[in-house]
Chain A
Amino acid sequence: MTWDTAPVVTGLGVVAPTGIGVERHWESVLKGRSGIAPLERFDPADYPLRLAGQVPDFTPRDSVPGRLLQQTDRGTHMGLVAAAAALDDAGIDPADVPEFELAVVTAASSGGTEFGQHEMERLYQNGPGWVGAYQSIAWFYAATTGQISIRHGMRGPSGVLCQEQAGGLDTFGQARRLLRGGSRVVVAGGTDASLCPYGVVAQLSTRALSTATDPDSAYRPFAPDACGYVPGEGGAMLVVERSDAAAARGARTYGRVLGHAAGFDPAPVLDRPPALASTIERALADAGVAPGAVGAVFADAMGVPAADAAEAAALRAVFGPGAVPVTAPKTLTGRLYGGGSSLDVATAVLALHHQVVPHTAGLDRPDPRHGVDLVVGGPRPAALDVVVVLARGHGGFTSALVLGRGDTALDLP
């Protein structure tokens, strides 16, 4: 994959706890303004989870027809808003793209969780006849892709990938495949909204959630006293195009998709090393990029001590101890599952565009035993050509995405 022919990112749409819209999100990231707050979606009463990353002031009704809102879950609402924003940001009117060359690939993690909980409640309180006509299209994992494709007339090879937090990166790997195969424009990314009671209780069963109560420090990956992650809702959708098509229409390019790899941890019973290091290496090889050329790594940063240690070990193995700046802006949003790694890609692309590595809020310094140069305290300007985004998904999914600078990197604001 050469630099010049790599697919380019030409549009971003963000719906996140750090804000709705690219500008608001990026401003929050630079300022370290957290979107984590006491859980408000319902009263968690005696649940051990107190905090979540919630999207503030989300009013999809401003831009999405009411009847479409009625037949979709909150996660899909966020996806619809983000996808429309990304297409608008890219300056693309779907009607101008040949219908079969326009596709959407989303990551899903748990589907329309809250919609589904409502429908099951109606089923059990009232009987089978009380399940609504939209349950068959709102809860299933393909809902967001289906609705986006309909709304924007996208008849190309669309899809849905479910690898929990890692799925988002894989949608970019898939977008690249589609663009090589005849598609011209692909909307890739994902959103998630599982902060309903049943969703939270399911997440609690992983024992990986942070039960801390201070929003500014509850999620502190790589800290000596890391205590789990805070869950969140939201995500991002990005427009990825063939470089020649983007150039032909004079599009602004935020960044390039240089390489991707997906791997999987060996089964727990086998005595074999986790897959992250080799996945990173394969992604770099795919991109034709040496580890020394990477300007920053956006870490998976699960915030569970053993997972942090494993990630740090992989980073040391691939890049060398302290050899590359590492960061996790996700401490401002929480872990967004189906939307998580997509939002990381948006943030990473913005970092390339603005030539600055955002910092990791919530901790003063990482545990020195990790041997990572974690960017803390504030954003770090840097000459960035290439960044890497990492994600791991529940059960052993591991993905790495290599991104390169776009054509029009901006000065710092």
Chain B
Amino acid sequence: MTLSRSRRTVITGIGVVAPGGVGREAFWDLLTAGRTATRPITLFDASGFRSRIAAEVDFDPEAAGLSHPEIRRMDRAAQFAVVCAREAIADSGVDLDTLDPGRTAVTIGSAVGCTMGLEQEYRVLSDGGRRWVVDHTYGVPHLYGYMVPSTLAVEVAWEARAEGPVHLVSTGCTSGLDSVGLGARLIEEGSADVVLAGATDAPLAPITSACFDAIRATSPNNDDAEHASRPFDAQRDGFVLGEGAAVLVLEELNRARARGARIYAEMVGYGNRSNAFHMTGLRPDGREMAEAIRVALDAARLDPSDVDYINAHGSGTRQNDRHETAAFKAALGERAREVPVSSIKSMVGHSLGAIGSIELAACALALDRQVVPPTANLHNADPECDLDYVPLVAREHRMDSVLSVGSGFGGFQTAALLTREGAVA
């Protein structure tokens, strides 16, 4: 199987900050052990909320290497992104001094930007919500940087010393897939040779929990937080809010080979569509996600029979898991029944815009190590979700190509395909 495009995109570095452990290896460790990082919320007093569970990162910014000025000015989401960027760059072995800044790009995704910083400042300036015309003298000097999510891309661009295209992609829960898709596209079209592509979200703040409470999207299984995220399980009752980030170093293939880089995987295909149906609702047939999958397969010149593992969106809501099961069947036919499918949200929760990049990191690692992460908490079969979801235990599995999908508020549906280096001519 060969791709005809003249410029191809490979992943040469991975950085992750996820619940359960800061760093790529801690993340992989959690996934392969099938451990969950969901617990009662500690980041704020959640006692008045319907869902009081989250997947939180035990994050010490100083221990993670951030300076005091960086900690002061950066919202938590920016801190995650920068720590990931540093890990990814180090992992890739890229020497920033050798890069042409004008051909170094950054594509970062985020669904809700600097929510924590925005809310914290609001609380102060509005005097606990009492003033509509908020105080204009007490705000932090970088308040505007919280208001615009583009700040998250700025911080990574400074880290990478990028002077090429820098973009903040914000397509809700597919942001983390769409940002990497855009990064790969920049390489393919010749606008960049190296891209730091990823996503970050730190949404664990009262306003976020409250907005998902209002639409009953999150699991209220507060007495069993550790097992509350149950994608594909017959008793699933919503997603568990999470936080985190992942950044990948994307490089043009020939450049990566020329410097002898270790290549995790190649981004061989990407496709996105919208369901144009409802901002939060999903039709059970999954047709637009199926179309996104077909577009990605076409771009990769792959058949359904080439897909060896599906990393699902698997948020754990009743409608999502049913929707994407249908999408897999529609797009892949019988192959959907033959391959392992799993959702790591069962372990690291749903970090909104960030999770797409975190899942791509998991896919790249899965390809590199030939191990499929499990779906944790999966005990009760649901007739509407009747595929092999790799319950509870990670599985060694021969894989050449992996499909990663996402679905998000606004109707966004995205699919991306990764292939192991050496499996593509």
| Chain A residues within CB distance 8 Å of chain B | 42-48, 71, 99-100, 103, 108-111, 113, 116-117, 119-125, 127-133, 135-137, 140-143, 145-147, 149-150, 152-164, 167, 170, 177, 194, 197-206, 261-267, 270, 272, 275, 278, 282, 393-397
Q: Which residues of B contact A47 (CB under 8 A)?
A: 133, 136
The segment out of B124-132, B313-321, B325-333, B399-407 that lies at the interface is: B124-132
A123 to B209, CA, bound (A): 11
Is A128 within 8 A of B209, CB to CB?
A: yes
B375-425: which residues lie under 8 A (CB-CB) from chain A? 408-412
Rounded to whole Å, the gap between the CB of A124 and the closest CB of chain B is 3
B135-191: which residues lie under 8 A (CB-CB) from chain A? 135-136, 139-151, 153-154, 157-158, 161-172, 175, 178, 185, 189, 191
A110 to B148, CA, bound (A): 5
A157 to B102, CA, bound (A): 27
Q: Which residues of B contact A133 (CB under 8 A)?
A: 214-215
Q: Which residues of B contact A202 (CB under 8 A)?
A: 139, 143-144, 146-147
A10 to B118, CA, bound (A): 39
Q: Which residues of A contact B157 (CB under 8 A)?
A: 264, 267, 395-396
Q: What are the 8 tightest A-B residue pairs by CB atom distance, in nearest-first order?
A: A146-B410, A124-B129, A395-B154, A131-B210, A141-B170, A135-B211, A262-B165, A267-B158
Is B274 within 8 A of A48, CB to CB?
A: no
B81 within 8 A of A: no
Q: Which residue of A lies closest to B168 (CB)?
A: A162
Q: Which residue of B lies closest to A150 (CB)?
A: B276
* Contact A131/B207 with A140-B409, A162-B170, A202-B144 known, Cβ cut-off 8 Å: yes
B341 within 8 A of A: no
Given contacts A123-B210, A162-B169, 7 further A-B contacts (CB under 8 A): A99-B276, A111-B113, A142-B172, A162-B150, A177-B189, A201-B136, A395-B151
A149 to B129, CA, bound (A): 34
A161 to B182, CA, bound (A): 11
* Contact A136/B136 with A108-B170, A158-B274 known, Cβ cut-off 8 Å: no
Chain B 101-132: CB-based contact to A (< 8 A → 1; otherwise 0):
11000100001110000110011011011101
Q: Which residues of B contact A143 (CB under 8 A)?
A: 279, 410
Q: Which residues of B contact A203 (CB under 8 A)?
A: 144, 147
Q: Which residue of B lies closest to A153 (CB)?
A: B276
Rounded to whole Å, the gap between the CB of A155 and the closest CB of chain B is 5
A44 to B357, CA, bound (A): 42
A264 to B163, CA, bound (A): 4
B275 within 8 A of A: yes
Rounded to whole Å, the gap between the CB of A145 and the closest CB of chain B is 6
Q: Which residue of A lies closest to B165 (CB)?
A: A262
B226 within 8 A of A: no
Is A128 within 8 A of B48, CB to CB?
A: yes
* Contact A201/B125 with A42-B133, A46-B136, A177-B189 known, Cβ cut-off 8 Å: yes
A100 to B290, CA, bound (A): 12
B304 within 8 A of A: no
A342 to B21, CA, bound (A): 42
Is A206 within 8 A of B144, CB to CB?
A: yes
B213 within 8 A of A: yes
* Contact A136/B409 with A128-B206, A142-B170, A263-B163 known, Cβ cut-off 8 Å: yes
Is B128 within 8 A of A163, CB to CB?
A: no
Q: Which residues of B contact A110 (CB under 8 A)?
A: 147-148
Q: Which residues of B contact A272 (CB under 8 A)?
A: 101, 163
Listed A/B pairs (26) with beta-carbon separation below 8 Å: A47-B136, A71-B279, A110-B147, A117-B122, A119-B211, A120-B119, A124-B129, A125-B129, A137-B280, A140-B111, A141-B149, A149-B411, A150-B278, A150-B279, A159-B169, A160-B170, A162-B148, A163-B153, A194-B147, A201-B125, A202-B146, A203-B147, A262-B167, A266-B163, A395-B145, A397-B150
| Chain B residues within CB distance 8 Å of chain A | 48-50, 101-102, 106, 111-113, 118-119, 122-123, 125-126, 128-130, 132-136, 139-151, 153-154, 157-158, 161-172, 175, 178, 185, 189, 191, 206-207, 209-215, 217, 271-280, 288, 291, 408-412
Rounded to whole Å, the gap between the CB of A106 and the closest CB of chain B is 10
Q: Which residue of B lies closest to A128 (CB)?
A: B210
Of the listed residues B111, B168, B189, the one surrounded by the most CB atoms of chain A closer than 10 A to its CB is B168
Is B167 within 8 A of A154, CB to CB?
A: no
A399 to B210, CA, bound (A): 37
Q: Which residue of B lies closest to A132 (CB)?
A: B214
Q: Which residues of A contact B142 (CB under 8 A)?
A: 205
Is A170 within 8 A of B273, CB to CB?
A: no
Q: Which residue of B lies closest to A48 (CB)?
A: B136
Q: Which residues of A contact B409 (CB under 8 A)?
A: 136-137, 140, 142, 146
Q: Which residues of A contact B279 (CB under 8 A)?
A: 71, 137, 143, 146-147, 150
Rounded to whole Å, the gap between the CB of B141 and the closest CB of chain A is 6
A130 to B206, CA, bound (A): 12
Q: Which residues of A contact B49 (CB under 8 A)?
A: 128
Rounded to whole Å, the gap between the CB of A336 and the closest CB of chain B is 14
Q: Which residues of B contact A154 (CB under 8 A)?
A: 274, 276
Q: Which residues of A contact B122 (CB under 8 A)?
A: 117, 120, 124, 198
Q: Which residue of A lies closest to B149 (CB)?
A: A162
Q: Which residue of B lies closest to A166 (CB)?
A: B150
Is A264 within 8 A of B166, CB to CB?
A: yes
Is B214 within 8 A of A131, CB to CB?
A: yes
Q: Which residues of A contact B273 (CB under 8 A)?
A: 100, 155-157
Q: Which residues of B contact A159 (CB under 8 A)?
A: 169, 171, 178, 272
A136 to B203, CA, bound (A): 12
Q: Which residues of A contact B150 (CB under 8 A)?
A: 109, 162-164, 167, 393-395, 397
Is B148 within 8 A of A155, CB to CB?
A: no
Q: Which residues of B contact A206 (CB under 8 A)?
A: 144
A300 to B191, CA, bound (A): 23
Q: Which residues of A contact B140 (CB under 8 A)?
A: 205
A123 to B409, CA, bound (A): 22
Rounded to whole Å, the gap between the CB of B160 and the closest CB of chain A is 10
A42 to B112, CA, bound (A): 26
Q: Which residue of B lies closest to A49 (CB)?
A: B136
Q: Which residues of A contact B291 (CB under 8 A)?
A: 100, 155
